[in-house]
Amino acid sequence: MVKTANFLPAYEALEKERGADSLTPLRKGGIARFAETGLPHSRLEDWRFTDVSALYDADFALARPTAAPLTSDDVTRLATRSGLVFLDGHYCAELSHVPQGIAVRSLTQALDDPASRALVRQHLGHHADKDRRPFVSLNTAFVEDGVFLHVPQNTKIDEPIHVLFVSTDKASHPRNLIVVEDGAEAHLIETWVSLGDAAHYVNAVTESVIGANAHLYHDILQLENDAALHTTAHHVLQGRDSRLTNHVISLGGALVRNDLVVALDGEGIDTTMNGLVLARGRQHIDNHTWIEHRKPNCDSHELYKAILDDQASAVFSGYIHVFQDAQKTDAKQSSANLLLSDRAVIDTQPQLEIYADDVKCTHGATIGQLDEDALFYLRARGLPPAQARNLLVHAFASDVTDGLSDEAARARVEKLLHERLPGDAPGA
């Protein structure tokens, strides 16, 4: 039986409230596909390690634009740096700081502006695959607002653009569109947080288009409370000689699923994808990545690490597809996992599918516990057991955290690592 929870009646009520607009055909296609497939289940290969049954009977109210209980003090406390602010997926203009001279705004504003409307229509819904991914079809059914970033040709934005997504106790479906034109460069940092301890559901989709010889740095900090349900899909199309540098840091949420799909659709492309999971209690965090090497002479480098304590569980499934014409591909994929408890569980599946014969492709996975010899060495030099343990944990995570080029984002992640590892304070 297809499970759709309360999403179908929520869609019908919203369409009746909103009436027809330019996105109505896109939404209708999304809800029609979601009605066919419903929510995924563990009998599907891509979901066999992740149980989303918590959503089957979920009854979160659908978030609507509102003058909500979010203040400038809350933003200062929750944000990594000042920037755009979204509450339950809807833009808060009065709390946002928009960088001067940069075409970054909400998706709703972009659709209202004739200068950007054509660009939105050209790309929105054309890259994320709603037919094979049920949460993309669900997001498409409710598409309304999110981040729109357009970097014109040969424009280089020196300062990172920060976006804060705040959730309360609702269901939200943010839709983001990023277009970096030929020769342009930008750095986007998303921070996802909760306002309070209530459970909520976020289902986000991002479509990114990176033009020829362009570069997008994209960092995602998922720091929601331990009751949050969070599914996200990020679909990227890269042009010739372009670069993508992507970091996904997942520290919060009861159930988290991150899908990252990257198509290398030109020669000379370089892609770097790094991820870090720190889970405790009964958290479950799942990272699925797909890399399509479609053209020759492209490089991809992928490193995902997980640190699991208590009864936490995590999944890494990395898939690299090298097309027949993609000669001279150089693809590296690594999954490294550290278990701090005998009850923690990791399922890791690095995968290669290669149809070209002149390639260099490697993949591997490791699962282990802290090195007892290293612990003994540190304790012999006067460090208490907890500090020695956590020093090793921080060293394990640093391969990913050191890659965060924004100092504020890196400092925030390192601070949270200190707070979440018991006994990490000096003198412990």
**pLDDT value, residue 424:** 47
Which element (helix H / strand E) includes 413?
helix 407-420
**pLDDT value, residue 60:** 94
**pLDDT value, residue 242:** 98
SS3 (DSSP) at 43: coil
Cα–Cα dist 350/362, whole Å? 10
Contact 22, 112 (CB under 8 A): no
Task: Provide the token pair at 411.
Answer: 């400092």
Residue type, 76: T
pTM of the full structure:
0.95
**pLDDT value, residue 428:** 35
Beta bridge partners of 351: 319
Sheet of strand 90-91, all strands in order from the earlier edge strand to the far edge: 90-91, 84-87, 161-167, 185-194, 215-222, 243-250, 270-279, 299-308, 330-339, 360-368
Cα–Cα dist 311/393, whole Å? 18
**pLDDT value, residue 155:** 95
Give the HSE-up count for residue 109: Cα atoms under 13 Å, Cβ half-sphere.
Answer: 16
> Which residue's entry shows tokens 């040709």?
153
**pLDDT value, residue 98:** 85
Q: For residue 96, which of 117, 76, 119 has the smallest C-alpha distance?
A: 76
The interaxial angle of helices 385-401 and 407-420, nearest 10 deg, is 150
**pLDDT value, residue 373:** 84
Per-residue pLDDT of the chain in tens (428 residues, 90 and over written 9): 788 989 999 999 999 988 889 999 999 999 999 999 999 999 999 999 999 999 998 889 999 987 668 899 999 999 999 999 999 999 999 999 987 777 889 999 999 999 899 999 999 999 999 999 999 999 999 999 999 999 999 999 989 999 999 999 999 999 999 999 999 999 999 999 999 999 999 999 999 999 999 999 999 999 999 999 999 999 999 999 999 999 999 999 999 999 999 999 999 999 999 999 999 999 999 999 999 999 999 999 999 999 999 999 999 999 999 999 999 999 999 999 999 999 999 999 999 999 999 999 999 999 998 888 888 878 888 888 888 888 899 999 999 999 998 999 999 999 998 888 765 443 33
**pLDDT value, residue 147:** 97
- Residue spans of the domains in the chain: they are 7-265, 371-428
Task: Provide the token pair at 93.
Answer: 């203009």
SS3 (DSSP) at 21: coil
Task: Provide the token pair at 144.
Answer: 């309304």
Q: Which residues contact 155 (CB under 8 A, 6 or more apart)?
A: 181, 184, 185
> Which residue's entry shows tokens 């929510």?
39
